[in-house]
Amino acid sequence: MSLQIESLNILIHELTRLPGIGEKTAQRLAYFILREGFQYNQALRDALSTVLEKVKECSQCYSYTDDGELCRICRSPDRDPKIICVVEEPFDIGKIEASGSYRGLYHVLQGTISPLEGVLPEHLKLQELVRRVDQVLEQHPDQALELIVALDADLEGDTTSLYLTKIMGTRPVKKTRLAHGVPFGTDIDYIDRRTLGRALENRVEL
Amino acid sequence: MSLQIESLNILIHELTRLPGIGEKTAQRLAYFILREGFQYNQALRDALSTVLEKVKECSQCYSYTDDGELCRICRSPDRDPKIICVVEEPFDIGKIEASGSYRGLYHVLQGTISPLEGVLPEHLKLQELVRRVDQVLEQHPDQALELIVALDADLEGDTTSLYLTKIMGTRPVKKTRLAHGVPFGTDIDYIDRRTLGRALENRVEL
């Protein structure tokens, strides 16, 4: 279905590398970009180069920041530095922030352990987390430190969670994970039996 | 769900302008672009600027071309200049070419008449088509000229098709449109009754 216009084909090819964008969608996007002409093309390129130039890793939590060495959350005086929520990627932070029920800090592992895909513990920000925990323990020797593991509830998430517990060793750290249960607004009919089992085990008094 | 990183938000905003890309998908794409880093970002920007710089309108059919004033199809000696297939946008040409059953030329209207959306006949390449038809008639005075209208089978397509017939006036042009009928490989159960009615009317002897 291609018009055999080489420069257009190159754009289509680059767009198919984006997640969830197949050949047909990429064609539709490329034709749209062509039709929109200079202004949109320019705006998109500017946005891409600004992101490349300005967005860096936060040196403490490994999320993104574009206005300082530490990200907004890490440098906020309103957040509790003694609670660290461990997530897979920066995107997850946005989700947890949107819930409005968390006032601690984050730590982005930049993946989860998955030997099949070649992701080993040394590829993740795990040693960085251990060092960070040691620092917090040093700065607040008399206070409790909590690590909330907010990884996906799948094999990779569970493996990473176990590994994390292991490398924390005997450090005086409270390790928790997100509660499993019935999603808000969901019909019980549609919940799988494992989730429902967990929701029953972890039932809460009214 | 945003991390409040301004440059990232700008990229997300620009991506939501693409057709079929909502806020969530745009976020996913933006995070992917960030994670991929320099090489992909650069490749995408290069592809965008090359398309902007090189792809132009074909001066005859108003499709795209990146290697000459006329597009590949218009300048091919193997195509029959006395058959012109009228399409809405260049994307449609790719589809018709893929069918492998067409050896004529094309004419891209760059839209269809839609007063509700502010698209009037003068916004389309209709006068250009009339001029082109006159030229072909002049160059091949003794031969039949055929216009195949390959517009969407909807209100806008039908309106444009009618308008086109009208402006062709008494010019000796054979005007045809794509056949309606049962799509190949489709179960008759799933065909709407209007299509089925047309398929019956236009039945073909075995």
Tokens 């500017």, residue?
A46
**Interchain proximity A29–B18, CB inside 8 Å:** yes
Q: Given an 8 Å threshold on Cβ–Cβ distance, is B51 in contact with A41?
A: yes
Over 70: is that where the pLDDT of A1 sits? Answer: no
- Alpha carbon of B170: minimum distance to chain A alpha carbons (Å): 33
Contacts with B33 from chain A: Cβ below 8 Å: 18, 48, 51
Nearest neighbour of B51 by CB, restricted to A11, A71, A72: A11
Backbone angles phi, psi at A106, to 5 degrees: -125, 165
- B74, A81 contact by CB (below 8 A): no
Query: What pLDDT, in 10s, does the model give residues A4-44?
Result: 889 999 999 999 999 999 999 999 999 999 999 999 999 99
Q: Is the pLDDT of residue B2 over 80?
A: no
Q: Which residues of A103-131 are buried (b: 16+ CB within 10 A; e: fewer)?
A: ebbbbbbbbbbbeeeebebeebbbebbee
Model confidence pLDDT, tens digit, residues A159-194 = 999 999 999 999 999 999 888 888 888 888 888 888
ipTM computed for the complex: 0.82
Yes or no, beta carbons of B20 and A28 under 8 Å apart: yes
Given an 8 Å threshold on Cβ–Cβ distance, is B8 in contact with A55? Answer: yes
How would you write B125-179 as a 3-class SS string? CHHHHHHHHHHHHHHCCCCCEEEEECCCCCHHHHHHHHHHHHHHCCCCEEEEECC
pTM value is 0.80
Residues 138-197 of chain B whose Cβ lies under 8 A from any Cβ of chain A: none
What backbone phi and psi angles, to 5 degrees, belong to B78? -85, -5
The CA angle B40-A119-A18, to the nearest 5 degrees, is 25
Q: What is the pLDDT of residue A141?
A: 86
Count other Cβ atoms within 10 Å, centred on residue B90.
Answer: 25
User: Which comes out higher in pLDDT, residue A56 or B153?
Assistant: A56
Gap from B204 CA to chain A (nearest CA, Å): 28
- pLDDT above 90 (res B94): no
> Residue A101: phi, psi to the nearest 5?
-115, 20
Q: Is the pLDDT of residue B113 over 70?
A: yes
The structural domains of chain B, with segments of one domain joined by +, span 6-54, 74-177
Q: pLDDT tens digits, residue range B49-74?
A: 999 999 999 999 999 999 889 999 99
Is the model's pLDDT at B194 over the cut of 90?
Answer: no
The average pLDDT across B92-100 equals 87
Mean pLDDT value across chain B: 91
B48 in reach of chain A (CB within 8 A)? yes
> Torsion angle of alpha carbons B107, B110, B115, B118, nearest 10°?
-150
* Selected residue of A17, A48, A56, A79 to mutate for chain B interface (largest B Cβ count, 10 A): A48
Nearest CA in chain A to B110: A35
One fold for both A6-54 and A78-177?
Answer: no
Give me the helices (H) in chain B, please.
6-16, 23-36, 38-54, 72-75, 90-99, 126-139, 155-168, 193-201
- Indicate the fold that domain B6-54 takes in CATH: Helicase, Ruva Protein; domain 3 (1.10.8)
In single-letter form, the type of residue at position B134 comes to: D
Judge whether B131 is closer than 8 Å to chain A, CB to CB.
no
| B38-48 residue pLDDT tens | 999 999 999 99
- The fold of A78-177 is Dna Topoisomerase Vi A Subunit; Chain: A, domain 2 (3.40.1360)
Q: For testing the chain B interface, which of A45, A102, A124 should be mutated: the one with the most B CBs within 10 Å?
A: A45
Using an 8 Å CB-CB cutoff, list chain B residues near A44. 14-15, 48
Q: What CATH topology corresponds to B74-177?
A: Dna Topoisomerase Vi A Subunit; Chain: A, domain 2 (3.40.1360)
